[in-house]
Structure 1
Amino acid sequence: MEPHLLVLAVTAAALAGLCLADLWEPGQAARVRGVAAASAILPALFFAPAGADAAFLAWTAILVALFVALAVVDLASRTVPDALVLPLIAFGLGHAWMRDLSVGAMTLAVALVVGAALFASAVPARLRAGIGGGDVLLVAAALAWLGPMVALDLIVLVAALLLPFAAMAVARRGAPRGLPAAPAVAAATLVLWLHGPIL
């Protein structure tokens, strides 16, 4: 890979993290900025020796930077801000469009995003049983990146990652009152992004 393309991809992802961090609450912005900028470098270091093409590296850097920023914010505040999720959805749909998905797959991806948005806004919080609207949109964002055909894989991986933490929370103090789902969704998405379907 050409070094200037690598630098361009890392810089673009870091700048996206820097710009989007200010949209979140000011107390979190510095931490989110630092983590997003640092995490954009990880795919560059990991994939450059493997000969990954510049487009894959750039998309991976954007995906990692936004998901890591969301995971940090969710861990700190138990919220998944729309200011970070909506750009993640937009980038995911842009990636799907540039990947030249079939019309049916692209329509299904858009329908999933719209359905998640409607669910997040229409279903009362008491009926969602600890699942916030941001978590629903985050899963829709992941599926916009990965494609709708891996929805079951994503749900199984997220559940497997959250299960030990839910069990510890129940054992410690009763029913969990809101586990941060963004780190699990981020990890599951990255596994599927790098390795493809698992089921």
Structure 2
Amino acid sequence: MRVLIAEDHHILARTIATGLRREAIAVDLAGSGDVAERMCLLNAYDIIVLDRDLPVMSGDEVCLRLRAIEDPPRILMLTAAGSVEDRVAGLDLGADDYLAKPFDFAELLARIRALSRRVPTPPLMILRHGGIELDRGRREVRIEGRPVELSPKEFAVLQLLMEARGEAVTHRVLLDRAWDENMDSRTSAVRATVSRLRGKLGRSDAISMDDGKGYRLC
């Protein structure tokens, strides 16, 4: 999952981003409404956490503009105003959910996960490939019934590979969906993560690399 945090309170934005990255969610940051809109036009975000009170372009205006594009991200709107009227106004603008400040991070995370499930065809919560079983909801992985401890990035990469159902997933796609825009495409992070995954899956050939195509589960 890839999320954009559009929030001009830099400490809050960084705090949210740190928490989401610990949950294997790729996060980008935008400090103004115009930047948030531009980033949404350039990148395929699953969710945007959108503050209503943004500089340059308000969150309300961003919300309206995003609703006009094809396949917009789901919008979780944040605001310091938590009255019923404010919540209704935000939802009427096209937001998918609404959260008043201050909020608990656990609630924000739960709402993001709920929004991520709002797709035309609900994703399978448990993915299986060979003897590998990945539970998206519980964020658990088992190999032949044996629990395996994965880091957030390892879990995110394995999930993307399992969702591909044997098709190759490119280096660029793995970077875009499991890391964020600040990651240099020349980084060895993907290769290192895949190497650790092979070890934890118990087979050096569990994940193959096709030159020019990417990585696939074997």
TM above 0.5, one fold? Answer: no
Judging by fraction of residues, say which structure has more strand.
Answer: 2
- Relative to the length of structure 2, the TM-score reads 0.27
Relative to total residues, which structure has the larger helix share, 1 or 2? Answer: 1
TM-score w.r.t. length of structure 1: 0.29
**Greater RCO (CA < 8 Å, at least 6 residues apart):** 1
